[in-house]
Structure 1
Amino acid sequence: MEATRRRLTEKQADTVEKLTRAALDVLRREGFAGLTVRMVAAQAGVGTATAYTYFSSKEHLVAEMFWRRLAATEAPGDGEPDSTKRVLAVLRQIAMLVADEPTLAGAVTSALLGTDPDVAHLRLRIGSEIRTRLIDALGADNDLELVETLEMIYAGALVRAGMGYASYAEVAERMEKAALQVLRG
């Protein structure tokens, strides 16, 4: 998978993969507040300078982890003829991407709200991918206002979950209810 800052050789891609795997281990152990790029580098067995070659900050590293999860999942519902069901499946999938890792979920929320330019770049990539999935799910029924409304639903719901107001499973259900209200007019 291509990194966000530049094209990678196979060896560099392996290093980035090591760093993202190590970041999850450190995150589980230390939480987002305790996570540092230095700790991740040590866990991955690479130098700190090497880690900073690929990631400008811990926020960038966590945002990359989320991007990789999203990019590695195929959009659901391609064979489903009902556009409403396709949209609901896309929203549920997005909500559940980090549901199995509560520490990662909270870290993703914090990271994506950061000001690091590399995070901003990833936010655009993530948003673009999700928008594409929603447009594809809507099919002929899509219009920009509807897509933006659905984006607001998932963004607000994921922030609520990341802040600990609800679990990701609960948020997925709430997103489905809100989306149904919007889609049914």
Structure 2
Amino acid sequence: LSMSRLSYWNSDPSDNWTLSLSKSFDIGSFRGLSAALSLSRNQYQYRTQNQVYASVTVPFGEGRQVSYSLRHDNQGATQHNISYLDFSHPDTAWGLSAASRNQGEGQSLSGNINTVTPRGNASADFTLQPGQYSSLGLNWYGSLTATAHGVALGQSVAGNEPRMMVDTDGIAGIPVSNGSGVTNRYGIAVVSAGASYLQ
């Protein structure tokens, strides 16, 4: 339970309170389920906004879960949201989320994926709102080193951090440094060389 009052020298005060409950439990073979309920009220200048929020999360398999949530307020606005998250692979996580609202934005679908590779970290995300807008984002975060034998891609290396070039005598696709880099088509990889040396 949390309560607060914000006072202003030139305006009426704002009162807020929130009551939150959460519980983890098991049902049969389903382990680690969780549920939450939140009730909140905001009062400001003779206007009162009440809101209820409820959610349940069901994990299944190894590193997978489905979540559902409902939000409703005293203005008649209701939002349903269902999402799926998969982080069962040690290097890749992805998720999908669908939402439905009876006011304003209507329906939406969004998703994202993040993966860690020897050539850097890549991610993508999208959002679709029919009749509103759509977006697509692509990102890559890593290290790019130009060498005499082509470009070598690897995990991110800070600007002042030393790097080490590895040559496998023309053999491509060889992982090095515990998978933090991989040789290019010319057998060249560039990885972090550890701590800087100062004398």
TM-score by length of 2: 0.22
Normalized per residue, which structure has more helix?
1
TM-score by length of 1: 0.23
Higher RCO, 1 vs 2 (CA within 8 Å, ≥6 residues apart): 1
Q: Which of 1 and 2 has greater Rg?
A: 2
Normalized per residue, which structure has more strand?
2
